[in-house]
Amino acid sequence: MARTRETAPPSKKTEAAGGITDAGAELVAKAAGSSTSVPGPSPNPATNLIIQDIALRAGGRLVRHTMEKGLLHGRFGQGTAKAIVENRSLSNTLVSALLARLATRSLPGAVVIGGGLAVKTLYDRSRTKRQARRSGDRTLRKMAED
**CA proximity to 104, closest of 21, 11, 18:** 21
The pTM for the full model equals 0.64
pLDDT over 90 percentage in the chain: 38
pLDDT at res. 10 = 54
pLDDT over 70 percentage in the chain: 86
pLDDT at res. 1 = 43
pLDDT at res. 20 = 76
Q: From CA 76, how far away is CA 82, in angstroms rounded?
A: 9
Alpha helices in 33-88 (DSSP H): 45-76, 78-86
Q: What is the mean pLDDT of residues 72-86?
A: 90
User: Residue 2 — pLDDT band, cuts 50, 70, 90?
Assistant: very low
Residue 95 has pLDDT above 90, yes or no: yes
pLDDT at res. 7 = 54
Q: From CA 107, how far away is CA 59, in angstroms rounded?
A: 26
Residue 59 has pLDDT above 90, yes or no: yes
pLDDT single digits (tens) 10-22: 555 555 555 777 8
